[in-house]
Amino acid sequence: MRPYYDHAGIQIFHGDCREVLPTLATDDVDLVLTDPPYGVAERTDRASKGRGLLAPCYDFPPVHGDDEPFDPAHLLVFRRLVLWGANYYADKLPPSPSWLVWDKRDGIPSNDNADCEMAWSNLGGPARLFRHRWNGMIKASEREKRRVHPTQKPVVLMAWIISAHAPAGGLVLDPYMGSGPTLRAAKNLGRSAIGIEIEERYCEIAAKRLQQSVLPLTGD
């Protein structure tokens, strides 16, 4: 396939990852890091239904594929994986002690949303915790940037994982790229990366993020 974006070791492919992945050499990939649809029909119309004027929020299109149970079988051919949201489909994954937990409140009292998010990995070692506040408009990073995807993750979260588990000069793969935080983190850290995304609007957003100069990993 012809890449949607290809520059300085970073590639984006627009398409269904289940069709693109068989064209890639699995042994060349040092780390798969991705946030796939969980199969929970995540609500993405928060601005028009429910939040009112409590805090700025936006409507998004539904997450593609989130209306049916997620099966990670097509990803398990890779050697090293980190799969966000795996608590929703853990019954389809091998047992592992090496879960990653993102504490997204970091001291803010609980509300009606989750205090943390969890990722399954087969990287070995004990469970690890990353504290980084990301609670609506109260964020420890990217404070001046509007959210552009309903399940968007902070770049610093992806950078925390990449820096620990992908070697310098290594290749990171994100088959469910969304708006591109994994690829942005890889670029900041000097890794190569491949992203695959079925929605073209997010391919365009990710490409624009990658065209920016290398960004700091903390703050805005």
**Residue pLDDT, tens place only, 22-76:** 999 999 999 999 999 997 666 655 555 554 444 455 666 777 877 899 999 999 9
Question: Per the domain annotation, does 139 fall within a domain?
Answer: yes
Query: Averaged over 171-199, what is the pLDDT?
Result: 97
**Residue pLDDT, tens place only, 111-132:** 878 899 999 999 999 999 999 9
Percent of the chain at pLDDT exceeding 70: 87
Q: Which domain holds residue 171?
A: 5-211
Question: Per the domain annotation, does 218 fall within a domain?
Answer: no
Question: Per the domain annotation, does 219 fall within a domain?
Answer: no
pLDDT score recorded for residue 146:
80
| CATH number for 134 | 3.40.50.150
Query: Which amino acid, 103?
Result: D
Question: Per the domain annotation, does 79 fall within a domain?
Answer: yes
Give the span between the Cα atoms of 23 and 8, in whole angstroms: 21
Residue 155 has pLDDT above 60, yes or no: yes
pLDDT score recorded for residue 58:
60
pLDDT score recorded for residue 60:
67
pLDDT score recorded for residue 219:
46
DSSP state of 179: T
Residues sharing a CB contact under 8 Å with residue 204, sequence separation 6 or more, in sequence order: none
> Among positive and negative, which fits the CA dihedral 17, 65, 195, 171?
negative
pLDDT score recorded for residue 53:
45
Question: Per the domain annotation, does 220 fall within a domain?
Answer: no
**Residue pLDDT, tens place only, 7-22:** 999 999 999 999 999 9
Give the span between the Cα atoms of 84 and 177, in whole angstroms: 12
Question: Per the domain annotation, does 191 fall within a domain?
Answer: yes
pLDDT score recorded for residue 127:
98
Question: Per the domain annotation, does 112 fall within a domain?
Answer: yes
Angle ∠(172,164,28) on CA atoms, nearest 5 = 30
Residues sharing a CB contact under 8 Å with residue 183, sequence separation 6 or more, in sequence order: 10, 12, 172, 174, 177, 193, 195, 206, 209, 210
Domain count, the chain: 1
Question: Per the domain annotation, does 216 fall within a domain?
Answer: no
pLDDT score recorded for residue 98:
98
pLDDT score recorded for residue 208:
95
The per-residue DSSP string of 70-121 comes to: --GGGGTTSSSEEEETGGGSGGGS---S--EEEESSTTSPP-SS-SEEEEEE
Please, how many CA atoms are within 13 Å of residue 92, restricted to the half-sphere of its CB?
16
